[in-house]
Amino acid sequence: MPPRCRNDLPAQGNPPAGNNPPANNPPANNPPANLPTIALIRTKEYTAVNRLPERSHLTDDNWYDWKERMNRVFTNCDITGYVDGTILRVAPEQDGIGARNWVKNDSWAQQVIMDNVSTTQMNHICSKRTAHTMYQGLASTHEDMAFYTVNNIENLLQTAKATDNDDLLLVFFVRGLTPLA
């Protein structure tokens, strides 16, 4: 019997193509029945990237900086879909393991948010039950606050009066944008 050529050998770990029936290779959007629809996040792989330095935790004054930094943390921890609400919870009767994985993954996303806010910000999120509602609570609080701050500054600028001898920088910044009588 002649020796086999290298081309006659199947690749290591892969069965020959002819022995792979289509049923064993379902399309990517239809996972096999025994695989959960939502995989469990391996949180230990993200311990180095899930926290901002304490000086960057969310306070009343740093919403926009915090939001930008946290978008990177969410991406690096693979939890953006839980925070923005695009990964929806699977019904337990459809996929018990996937539903349980969703709960654990969402809990991880909640922990990442909670670990990156100051204690004064916890009152905005402590009653929320998902990462998405936590983030929405923070966003609505701080986006509204920014809107009111801008409106307040705009109104103060429009109503502030200065005399000809006043230094406008002193009037508007040192005096805290309070209208002059």
- Residue 63 in any domain: the answer is yes
Tokens of 81: 């879909």
pTM for the full model?
Answer: 0.63
One-letter amino acid for residue 87 of the chain: I
Q: Is 30 exposed, middle or buried (0-12, 13-18, 19+ CB in 10 A)?
A: exposed
Nearest one of 96, 94, 48 to 73, comparing CA atoms: 48
pLDDT digit string (tens) for 17-56?
333 334 344 444 565 567 899 999 999 999 889 999 999 9
- Residue 21 in any domain: the answer is no
- Residue 134 in any domain: the answer is yes
- Residue 99 in any domain: the answer is yes
- Residue 114 in any domain: the answer is yes
Name the residue range of residue 85's domain: 40-174
- Residue 107 in any domain: the answer is yes
pLDDT bin (cut points 50, 70, 90) of residue 164 is low
- Residue 56 in any domain: the answer is yes
pLDDT at 67: 95
Count how many domains the chain has: 1
- Residue 87 in any domain: the answer is yes
